[in-house]
Amino acid sequence: MQKLSEYMATPFVSGVKFSEAVRTYTYVCPDSGITKSAPGLIGKLRARFYPRAAHKKRKRRAFRTRKRGTTYRIASSANIGSAADDAITAYIRSGLTVAPKNAFARAVIHHWEQVMGHVVVASQLPVRVEDFGCITQVDTLTRDAAGRIWLWELKTGNPPRAPARGPDLVGPRTPAGKRVPASTLNQWELQRHYTAKGMRDAGVSIYKSHVIHAYKSKVKGSKKKPTVKVSKRAVPTWTQSL
């Protein structure tokens, strides 16, 4: 197993670029020196595990407040997540000295550092997932007091609603042999599992990996502003069948 610092210093990591326009990664092949392209992980997971699951982007609507007549536009979940990722990356680049203004990033960093006693060591780290021939990014890596590396799949925004029974994931089964619903939460777990596997296949020792979810919570009927809560999801047993 190579050290995390050795992996981060490889030409692959420094050479990976992501194109928003075409939603693909480009990298320099270490053998030939030729620039190649590779798809992202989510599309590959959808094609293999939940091709029949509905994939609808929520329409974002403008709304006007009664008091000030100001128009706001609801941010997309992707933009909220990207802002949190960028804030964590900036925090690492500051030498862990400048606390982020982003509420979601600040909440998860507090959980890692104050609740778990971890040190944030890397964010948005590219990794090749050999199982699918694609590239993705590790949201965040932390190091615990024993020096072990933990991988985190960071999700932000409101908790997804439990859908009516729909299609199941193709392949995975619970230890009891039952099918696994293709819910948003289970799709998150697929991302986490294969991102961590990609790092392990690259020779980096990952002690544990979890989905961590930061979301705003407000007490019904209260006039107080919503607070950001953090939930570290337990790894479901059905992922053992992957």
Please give the pLDDT value at position 51. Answer: 92
Separation of alpha carbons 49 and 171, rounded Å = 7
Alpha helices in the chain (DSSP H): 4-8, 11-15, 41-49, 77-93, 103-110, 184-201
Please give the pLDDT value at position 136. Answer: 96
pLDDT in tens, 26-80: 988 877 878 889 999 999 999 999 998 765 554 444 434 344 444 434 445 678 8
R_g of the chain computed on alpha carbons: 19
Residue ranges per domain, the chain?
4-53+70-241
pLDDT in tens, 119-158: 999 999 999 999 999 999 999 999 999 999 999 999 998 8
* 74 and 61 Cβ atoms separated by less than 8 Å: yes
- The pLDDT mean for the chain works out to 87
pLDDT in tens, 80-95: 889 999 999 999 999 9
Please give the pLDDT value at position 162. Answer: 60
SS3 190: helix
